[in-house]
Amino acid sequence: MATSLPLALSHSTTEINTDALGAVFVLPNGNSYRLVLNADGAAVPRCSALTWVSRTAYTVERVDAATEEICGFVPTEQSATGPANSDYFLMQIGGLTTAIRGDDGTAITVGDGIGPDDDSDSGKTKRHVAAGSTFTEAIVCGQAITAAASADDEYQVQLLRVLN
C-alpha cells in the first residue's frame, strides 16, 4: 500500500479548521509535514524552498535571499502551480523531498549541503557546503542525494535540518 499524506495538500481558509495550524504529521516512510499558510503573495510552485514569515502564525513564503533559512519545501505531490496565496497546505519539513537548483553556476552533486539561492531565484536552492565538508552553516538544510547540473534541474535531497 502506498504512503499518502494524512489530509488534503491545500485548502482555502474557509475549508480548514485553523486550530490544526502548525500541527506536524509524520508518515510511516519517515517524511514529515507541518500545516502552514502561504503568505507569499502568489502561488508557491511545487518543490519551492520556503522560509518563515511568522513562526508563531505559521505563515511561509519562498526564500528569496541566500542568507535566509529554509523551514521546509512545497511537496512534490502538489500541482505544478502549488498552493495559492492565502491557502493552507502541508509543507514538508523532514525526509526525502525534491528541490530546484537556481542559476548560481555551481552544479549540485551528491553529498553537497544545500541552502537558498539568491533573490533572482525565488524558492530555489544552491550548494552551500561541498560534499564531504562538515555542515556548520546555519543555512544548510539538507544533503543532495541526486545531482543537479543546470539551473532549474530538480534533484532529490534528504532534509537534515530545517528551521522549525
Residue 93 CA: distances (Å) to CA of 16, 19, 31: 20, 19, 8
CATH class, domain 10-159, is mainly beta
The answer to whether 88 and 21 have CB atoms below 8 angstroms apart is yes
Q: Looking at this protein, which amino acid is placed at residue 22?
A: G
Domain residue extents for the chain: 10-159
The answer to whether 147 and 40 have CB atoms below 8 angstroms apart is no
Q: Quick one: DSSP state of residue 130?
A: -
More confident residue, 4 or 71: 71
Per residue in 124-143, pLDDT tens?
A: 999 988 888 877 776 788 99
Per residue in 43-66, pLDDT tens?
A: 999 999 999 999 999 999 999 988
Q: Is 164 exposed, middle or buried (0-12, 13-18, 19+ CB in 10 A)?
A: middle
The answer to whether 75 and 90 have CB atoms below 8 angstroms apart is yes
pLDDT for 1: 36
